[in-house]
Structure 1
Amino acid sequence: MLAALILPLAMPATASNPAEAERLSTYLAARAADTMGDPATASKLFAALVRDLPADERLRQRAIVGAIEAGDMRLALELGNGVPFDRAPLELRMLTIADLLVRNRQSDALAHLRNGGGTIDSSFLLPFVEAWARADAKDGNAVQSLDSVNPQSALARQVNEHRALIHLKLRQPADALPLAEKALEEAGGRADRLRLAFADGFRAAGDMATAAKMVDAKGAAMSSAQARLRSGKPLGEAIDSSSKAFGELLLGLAIALNRLDDKSIAVSLAQVARHANPENDAAVLLLGLLLDEAGRSDDAVAALRTIDEGSSFANQAEDAEVRILLDNGREKEALARAHRTASIAPSADAFSRLGAVFSRLERQPESAQAYAQAIALAQSRETSDELWALQLYRASALEESGNWPEAKAIMQSALASSPENSLLLNFLGYGMLERGEDIEAAEAMVRKASALKPDDASITDSLGWAQFKRGKVDEAIETLNRAAASDPGQGEIREHLGDALYTAGRRIEARFAWRAALATTEEAAAKARIESKIERGLDKANAAP
């Protein structure tokens, strides 16, 4: 049937075959929507064709996959009704299992997984679903089902977290704790989500001390969780049922598969995870980020805006939304969003976000003012674990505004509190180098920063530039070569290396370095300076600051 539908593409539609012409028009519109990154429209159009051509399995599969990618689970389930599980696309099989678990039909979900089948066998999920089905039935040995997980499986890294969560569901906190700690070590970008889930689990199990320990970490989500626990409230992030646990498995898979060039499968798995647990804001946050990476910025922003302002992930969601808006040229919306939050819910995080937006818009004086308000709120409410970072951002905005004296004073104050902070040392030391202020002290700061972070290319560059400024040209070339090798794409490093090579009389090598710098430099003034050096060599007028 699908071949019959595509065949008319080679010939003009005629009035004698109006039904075929209409199908062709619908098909072309669906293909166009799909190409434009609009799976919602594409899936609806493909679904219309399926209703007209119900025997065309390939067309049905295309409509189902598009509906899942668009988050239209009702349509996907309608179209998938009657499709044999072993012939269903992976996305539909995942949705089928999730929907059965949401409806507490664990035995049916297990039957499907035990039968396996499909181009990609989904039976690797069986041990997890079986373990949770046993936990839902209050089987005290439910975790034993996880013993059969293949250690080479993409889900092997999630075994510890599910063991811990099942022990918590069964009110076995002592057994859960060492597993939860291992899971957090392996969690990567999901650490905040797991901390909150574990905290809710330990709270429900009556272990308030360990619940508090789980959220004893940095970040807005942890600060909010700490306050809720102190007030005796649940966090609303529990993973305590088969459907919620299945959603977490899919999120882990989505993160792993997002490394592929084709982002559609990762997006689809995140959509199904959201269906499995609609209350999981971490899933919505991940979905928003995946949609953005897939080029669907409007859908990403729409998804992120569904996260409630009271959610533990509200701050991260707004950070992501504002960044996406800025990246897509929607500066007014980004600024309005950041302004609104800073006005109605003033906090260090809200004003820090506003400062970042002003900085992206190159409105540095306003950025510095916003960061000043963030610092004041952080100091008065003791809500920031990293006050030095806000001070660094404010100093950077002040420097960009031409107010180096105030920026320098802020950095000196920050260093007094954090004398071993490599970023502060590098910022202040490099700023002094650029202005020729106390070169010896500046080099000492940068050298200390480099000792603290020997693999940081920017700091290594600062050290090389300090050596160059002090006339240690050969030593500078060696250091700058190391920095360039560590980060070949940083134009500033290449320019510094070129200046040092030219000074040492190695002029051909210098021009190679400058040309490499030019290829990755975007700032107009820096580009003009480098072009001048390539053309006529290094002089006082075109030397790097």
Structure 2
Amino acid sequence: MPHRLTPLRAVALSISLLAGYPVMAEPAGAYLAARAATQDDNFQAAITYYDRLLDEGLADMGIADSALTAHIALGDYDGAVAIAKTLAAQPDAAQGVALTLLAQAARDGDYAKGLQLLDESKSVGPLFAGLYRAWALVGEGNMSDAVSEFDKVGKLQGLDGFAMYHKALALAQVGDYEGAEKILSGASKDIIHNTRRGVMTHIQVLSHLERDGDAIALLDDTFDGDLDPELEAVRAKLEAGEVLTFDMARDAREGIAELYFSIGAALTGDVPQTVPLVHARLAQWLNPAHADAILLTASMLDQQGQYDLAIQAYDEIPEDNAIFFAAQMGRADALVKADRAQEATDVLNALVQADPDLPGVWLALGDVERRQQHFDKAAQAYAKALDRITDPDPSDWFVFYAAGIADERSGNWERAESELKKALELNPGQPSVLNYLGYSYVQKGENLEAALEMIKEAVEAEPDSGYIVDSLGWALFQLGRYDEAVVQMERAIELESVDPLVNNHLGDAYWAVGRKREALFQWQRAISFGPGDDVDMERVQRKIDIGLDAVRAEEGAVPLSEVGQPR
């Protein structure tokens, strides 16, 4: 499975682009609509209303700043700059104003203007201000003062790794690869190597120093030998002795783009999602080829539920880019969330045709097919994924689990049982696997005592999972232990009150202990909450009409009084 690197966390940052939203008296409709759209992160709807308020001169600072944020989030930089310029003279202008105008100055190559804006701004923090100043000095050709500025930021508590990463980029940019490598392998190494871009910077620098062996070793050690297409391409070039292009920051503008991106990436998960989104968008504006900034933009939009915008962002990464596959995987996931599963299937099928050797893509394809209940196709995709996992490790348990589900649902129980057991072997005690395997045994009337123990173990691990508690109740029911089953199923209904399967099971348990009026009520609830994937609603209605005993007699099943007894 792909090795995941923990994003770098910058210490002592105080960054907020969102000001408060004071209530306006007029026009209340536009304000309330804009406020609702903002709370839903619906930026397109928000700017429609915010711009109306701005045009009518009815916007206060909070509204104007929210409009600025929405324009940046949509990638409408001209609109954002226009708003920022109107707000710049205000003493309480929010940080987004400075970030926007500083980005514009860098985009125009007007570093003197950027330095002037920086001196006038009181809203940006010391990390951003110091590194922007350093990069602007690089842009002006004043490398000596730039290095001093990088070093000054590096003395701020907890920010040395962040500052030294940017200093290394600047040194490499001007051809001082020895100086850059000294930083990248020095005291800040562990912090810099905590991000993929930090590692790639070091690899590119080593390549320019003709230390290909060290670069390959760093690549393999960091990613544990499990390389995605981008890393495979890098490794192949290193093995061929090809000097890698240093493209992490080719000039001062791209260095400032990296500043916006790296702060946005560092803040991900620690602040409202709009904050890293704005940083990522401004990084894109400064460096449209910054694929990682595009991915961060798409990821933030995805997490905010703006799936169509996320899909558009993922589409901005061209097919010849090394991270195209990663972008398309993200695009497929966003398509699924946007209820466009067939389009997601088409995207993933195109990827496996382009490169059939990536288990992660086959796994994603299987997941999409499974969500659509195309279990035969899902099973085929999972089988392809498993074929490409030659030496399974504990992290691969989910592939076997998902394959087991697809095979069980498509009628291949023998293979499903083997896959589920393998998932447990890789991840002993995993509650979802224990529950699925145990419940499958119960449904098939096999290994009931063992199934009961599996599900009990799963409940101990996840006592608040209504589905797992329901499985325990159903296993007890199949063993004829109806009173115990009722206790567990009543607990399950507390946890999953509107699930048709749980209501149906509780109805059966109530009937078995003679609580027939309550059974009818639960079956009626099951129908009202249906349809359910695992509930035969016609059978539920039949139970309401003639009772569970009569339905079992029609089906040739043993009477409830004989359930669980040796036959």
TM-score for the superposition, normalised by structure 1: 0.68
**What is the CA distance between 1:342 and its match in structure 2?**
2.0
Question: What are the superposed Cα offsets for residues 269-288 of structure 1, whole Å, 9 maximum, x if unpaired?
Answer: 44223224434333323323
Instruction: List aligned pairs for 1:69-108, cutoff 5 A.
Output: 69-77=73-81, 80=84, 84=88, 86=90, 90-101=95-106, 108=113
The change in CA–CA distance for 1:164 and 1:148 in structure 2 (over 3 A counts) is closer
8 Å CA contact 1:498–1:511 kept in 2: the answer is: yes
| 2:446 equivalent to 1:432 | no
Which position in structure 2 is the counterpart of 1:162?
162
The one-letter code matched in structure 2 to 1:439 is L
Report if the CA contact (8 A) 1:368-1:394 is conserved. Answer: yes
Is structure 2 residue 297 aligned with structure 1 residue 287?
yes
Equivalent position amino acid for 1:247 in 2:
F
The alignment status of 1:397 with 2:406, answered yes or no, reads yes
Aligned to 1:374: 385
Q: How does 1:455-474 map to 2 (within 5 A)?
A: 458-473=467-482
Tell me the TM-score normalized by structure 2.
Answer: 0.65
Tell me, yes or no, if the aligned pair for 1:273 and 1:283 is still in contact at 8 Å. Answer: yes
Aligned match of 2:234? 228
Q: Which runs of 5+ in 2 are unaligned?
A: 1-25, 28-33, 170-179, 207-213, 553-559, 561-567
Q: Give the corresponding residue for 1:191.
A: none
Number of residue pairs matched? 482
SS in structure 1 of the partner of residue 388 of structure 2: helix
Q: Could you tell me which runs of 5 or more consecutive residues in structure 1 were left unpaired when the two chains were aligned.
A: 1-6, 9-29, 150-155, 185-193
- My pick for the range that moved more, 128-137 or 316-325, is 128-137
Q: For 1:443, what is the secondary structure of its paired residue?
A: helix
Q: How do 1:502-541 residues align onto structure 2 when only pairs under 5 Å count?
A: 503-504=512-513, 521-523=530-532, 526=535, 528=537, 539=549, 541=551
Q: Distance in 2 between matches of 1:407 and 1:215?
A: 31
Contact kept in structure 1, 2:230 and 2:323, CA below 8 Å: no
Letter in 2 for 1:126: P
Shift of 1:115: 3.7
Instruction: Tell me if structure 1 keeps the 8 A contact 2:394–2:427.
Output: no
Report the CA distance between 1:197 and its aligned residue. Answer: 1.5
Residue 313 of structure 2 corresponds to: 303
Counterpart contact for 2:366–2:379, Cα < 8 Å: yes
| Secondary structure of the structure 1 residue equivalent to 2:187 | helix
The one-letter code sitting in structure 2 at the alignment partner of 1:274 is Q
What is the deviation of 1:178? 4.3
Matched, 1:246 2:269: no
- Tell me what 1:179 maps to: 191
Shift of 1:71: 0.9
Q: Percent identity?
A: 23
State the alpha-carbon separation in 2 of the partners of residues 448 and 241 from structure 1: 53
TM superposition shift of 1:497: 4.9
**Paired amino acid for 1:250:** G
The 5 Å alignment of 1:40-439 reads 67-77=71-81, 80=84, 84=88, 86=90, 90-101=95-106, 108-109=113-114, 111-113=116-118, 115-116=120-121, 122-123=123-124, 125-131=125-131, 133-134=133-134, 137=143, 139=147, 142=150, 145=153, 162=162, 165-166=165-166, 169=169, 171-172=182-183, 173-179=185-191, 194=195, 196-204=196-204, 206=206, 208=215, 209-210=217-218, 212-216=220-224, 221=228, 224-225=230-231, 228-229=234-235, 231-232=237-238, 238=248, 241-252=255-266, 256=270, 258=272, 267-292=277-302, 296-309=306-319, 311=321, 313-347=323-357, 348-379=359-390, 386-412=395-421, 415=424, 421-439=430-448
Question: Which letter maps to 2:344?
Answer: A
Q: 1:225 to 1:498 in 2, by over 3 A?
A: farther
Q: Decide which structure has greater helix share.
A: 1
SS for the counterpart of 2:162 is helix
For 1:278, the aligned partner's letter is: P
SS of the residue aligned with 2:186?
helix
Shift of 1:55: 13
CA contact (8 A) 1:423 1:449 kept: yes
For 2:452, give the aligned amino acid. Answer: E
Q: Residue 167 of structure 1 contacts residue 176 of structure 1 at CA under 8 Å; is this kept in 2?
A: no
- The one of the two structures with greater contact order (alpha-carbon pairs below 8 A, sep at least 6) is 2
Paired AA for residue 187 in structure 2: D
Residue type of the alignment partner of 2:371: R
